[in-house]
A and B are shown apart, each in its own frame.
Chain A
Amino acid sequence: MKTENSIKFSFPALSMNEQTSRAVVSAFLVQADPTIEELADIRTAVSEAVTNSIVHGYRSISGEVELCVKLLAGREIYIRVKDKGCGIEDVEKAMEPLYTTAPQEERAGLGFAVMQSFMDSVRVRSKPDAGTTVTMRKKLKETSCRTS
């Protein structure tokens, strides 16, 4: 699908950058005029994916997280969060609700469940010791159909 506009940026896997990544995504999406709810959904999904890269991907090593946001034709938002961290052995298991490898840090194990619930589609590609790429899509409502 045709890309109307896009932004790509990368940042060190520091937890303080979770907020920064959400702020950049919000700023980029202003041009698409999403509803408050749509924007909240996307911000939450981005936060989950970026936090996963920081907490799990780069658990014991430092590295960069790359975030790419595209506005596609037909008001579809494409988001890709990529890390070169430890990767996931069993993606299917990792996506099970309440499954977490960091219970001592009070991780609820709901990251992927939130992404799946708030976005139209979520795809995870991962290879142990090579990294993880999460791709998400969400189609925004037509502006003319909106009541708010």
Chain B
Amino acid sequence: MAVVLQKEKTCLIARLSGELDHHSVRSIREEIDTAVTEQQPSKLALDFSGVTFMDSSGIGLILGRCKVMCGIGGTTVVWSPPAHIKRVMRLSGIERLARIETEPSAEEEETE
């Protein structure tokens, strides 16, 4: 499990890859929270397109980051989860807190 953090204007993008479980979630959580504290982004995007496995530990991760972002007045979105991971997300109702969407393309970003 790995996370690559990227800053785009006021958005912090966390690109996750590999298997997300209770064991791997700990270091990911710390890395994201450290970056959020430093950068104070208005939006946190969790890119799930490279995640190959996720159990409910991943829901805990999203839920926790929503709380952190809420604390600094920002929002959290989830990008492109694979089908079976989306099923776990649907079951949890996490969409009410973090919108699930596809990553906006470069052109869309420019017109925003």
> What residues make up the interface of A, taking CB atoms closer than 8 Å to B?
15-16, 18-19, 22, 36-37, 40-41, 43-44, 47-48, 51, 54-55, 105-108, 110-111, 113-114, 117
Q: With the chains together, A18 CA to B54 CA distance in Å? A: 12
CB within 8 Å of A: which B21-75 residues: 21-25, 29, 53-57, 59-61, 63-64
Q: Which residues of B contact A40 (CB under 8 A)?
A: 53, 84
Q: With the chains together, A16 CA to B23 CA distance in Å? A: 6
The 8 Å CB contact of B22, one of A43, A55, A114, is A55
Interface-central residue, A16, A40, A111, by most chain B CB under 10 Å: A40
Q: Is the CB of B91 within 8 A of A114?
A: yes
Q: Which residue of A lies closest to B23 (CB)?
A: A15
Q: Is the CB of A18 within 8 A of B23?
A: yes
- A110 and B22 contact, Cβ closer than 8 Å, known pairs A40-B84, A117-B91: no
Query: What DSSP secondary structure best describes chain A's contact surface?
Result: helix
Q: With the chains together, A111 CA to B61 CA distance in Å? A: 14
- A106 and B63 contact, Cβ closer than 8 Å, known pairs A15-B23, A51-B21: yes
> What residues make up the interface of B, taking CB atoms closer than 8 Å to A?
19, 21-25, 29, 53-57, 59-61, 63-64, 83-84, 88, 91-92
- Give the distance to chain A from B50, nearest Cβ to Cβ, in Å: 16
The 8 Å CB contact of A47, one of B21, B29, B59, B92, is B21
The 8 Å CB contact of A106, one of B23, B29, B88, B92, is B29
In order of increasing CB-CB distance, the 4 nearest A-B pairs are A15-B23, A106-B60, A40-B84, A110-B56
A-B contact pairs, 28 of them (CB 8 A): A16-B23, A18-B21, A19-B21, A19-B23, A19-B24, A36-B84, A37-B84, A40-B53, A41-B84, A43-B53, A44-B53, A44-B54, A44-B88, A47-B55, A48-B56, A55-B22, A105-B60, A106-B25, A106-B61, A106-B64, A107-B56, A107-B57, A107-B60, A108-B56, A108-B92, A110-B91, A111-B55, A114-B56
Q: Which residues of B contact A107 (CB under 8 A)?
A: 56-57, 60
- Give the distance to chain A from B104, nearest Cβ to Cβ, in Å: 27
Q: With the chains together, A19 CA to B56 CA distance in Å? A: 14
